Amino acid sequence: MRAYTASEEEALRARNLIKDWAGEGFLTDAQYQRLEQETVCDLRRTNIFLRLVLFLFTLIIVGAAVALFFNVILTHPAIQTTGIFLMIFAAVSYASAEFAVARARLYRYGIEEALAACSVAFLCVGMQLVFFEGRPYSPTPHEMEFLVPAAGAIASLWIWRRFGLFYAFLAAMIFVLWLPGHWTSSHAAQHLIVAALYAAGLSAVAAVRAGHRFTYLDETYSIAEALLWLGIYLAINLQPSLDLLRQWLGGTPPTTEFSRPLYWTTWVLIWCLPPAVLARGLRGKDRFVIAVGAIAAVLTLITNKPYLGWPRHSWDPMLLGALMIGVGLVIRRWLADGPGGIRHGFTTHRLSGKDKSWMSTGAAALGLVASESITPPQTSSPEFRFGGGDSGGGGASSDF
C-alpha cells in the first residue's frame, strides 16, 4: 500500500530523532556519527523552502504542458473530448509521481507531490466535463454529480495512504463537504451528514491507529485524527462554520433555519467536545489532538455570545487574551512545581529541536510576508523644486 518500505520510513524517522537529540545535546558527536551510519537511507529529501519551490514549479510545468496540448495539438475540442483527455492526463500525472518515487527515490521532494495533486485535479475536472457538462438532453443531468467529489475524496485518501501526505487527507475532508449538497437541500441535514461522515472516519482512524502507536505511522494517524476532530467540531458549531461552509454548501443559511432542538443541542456539544478532545490527547500524549482540543475550546468561547444572542464588545478579545495568558501561566507553574519539573509525563522543558526549527521556518515565512506589508507606500507628491539658491557651475541658475 505504501510507496516506501517500512524500513525506509523507520530509518528516516530514526534519523530525524537522532538529529533532534544531537541538537539538544543528548548525544555526543561520536554517538551521533555512529547512529547516523546505522540509519542510512537512499531516499532523496530536501528542505522545506526548496520543496515548496519545486512543488510550485512542477504545477506550472504540468499546467503549461496541458495548456500547450490543447492549444496546439487539440484545438477547439468538444467538452466531452476535453474531459476524456484530462482524465488521461490524470493517469499520466499519477504514473509520473509513482515513477519519481520508484526510480528517482524522491521523498517529500515537491515534484512527486505536485504530480499527485495534479492527478486529483485532472480527474475531478475531467469527470465533471465528461459526465455532467454539455448534456442538456439528459432528463436528470446532475442526479449523480456527487460522484465527482466522491472520486476526489477517494483519490485524495489513496494519495494520503500511498505517499503519506497529510494535506491529501485534508483535501479528502474538503471533498466530503461537497457531498451533502447533492443529496439534500436542508442545511441542517448537510451539517449532520458531514459530522456523521467525519465521525465514521474518526472511528476508522482510531481503530487502525491502535496497532501503530510506536511506529512511523503514528504521527500520520495522529494528524488525521486531529483533523477529523476539528472537522466534527466545525460541522456541529453552527456559528463559525456558516461562513466557512457557505462557499461549499451553496449559501449561508440564517440561524432561524435550524430547529431549536438542533440549535441548542449543538450549543451543548460545542461545550462538551473540547474537554473530550483534550482528555483524549492528554491520555495519549498526542500533541496534535491536544492542539485541536485547545483550538476548539477557544472557538467555543468566541462563539458563545453569538449562540446566546448576546452583544459583542470591543474588549472581548482583550479579555479572551488575558484568560489564555492566565491559563498558560497556571499550567506552566503547575508543571514546574512537579518533581523535576515533570507531572504525568509532561514538562515545560523543550526536549526536541523540532519546535525550534518550525518556529524558525515560521519566522522566516512571516518575515517574507511582513516585509511587503510594512513597507510604507510611496505616495505621489507634486514636483519638488529647490528654490532660493543661485549658485551653480557651468552657468546653472536657480531654475535648473
Q: What cell does 24 get?
A: 539538544
**Cβ(173)–Cβ(155) below 8 Å:** no
- Determine the pLDDT at residue 344: 84
- Determine the pLDDT at residue 271: 96
Q: Is 346 helix (H, G, I), strand (E, B) or coil?
A: strand
End-to-end CA distance of the chain: 78
Identify the helix (H) or strand (E) that includes residue 323.
helix 316-336
- Determine the pLDDT at residue 170: 96
Residue 70: closest CA among 85, 53, 55: 85
- Determine the pLDDT at residue 297: 95
- Determine the pLDDT at residue 67: 94
Q: Write out pLDDT tens, residues 264-301.
A: 999 999 999 999 999 999 999 999 999 999 999 999 99
Q: Which amino acid is at 388?
A: G
3-state helix, strand, coil in the chain (%, to 5): 70, 0, 30
Return the sign of the alpha-carbon dihedral for residues 205, 207, 211, 213. Answer: positive
How far is the C-alpha of 60 from the C-alpha of 54, rounded, in Å? 10
How many CA atoms lie within 13 Å of 183's alpha carbon, on the beta-carbon side?
16
- Determine the pLDDT at residue 241: 47
Which stretches of the chain score pLDDT less than 70?
134-142, 240-256, 351-400
Return the CA Rg of the chain.
27
Q: What cell does 125 get?
A: 475536472
Q: What cell does 148 get?
A: 465527482
**Cβ(193)–Cβ(185) below 8 Å:** no
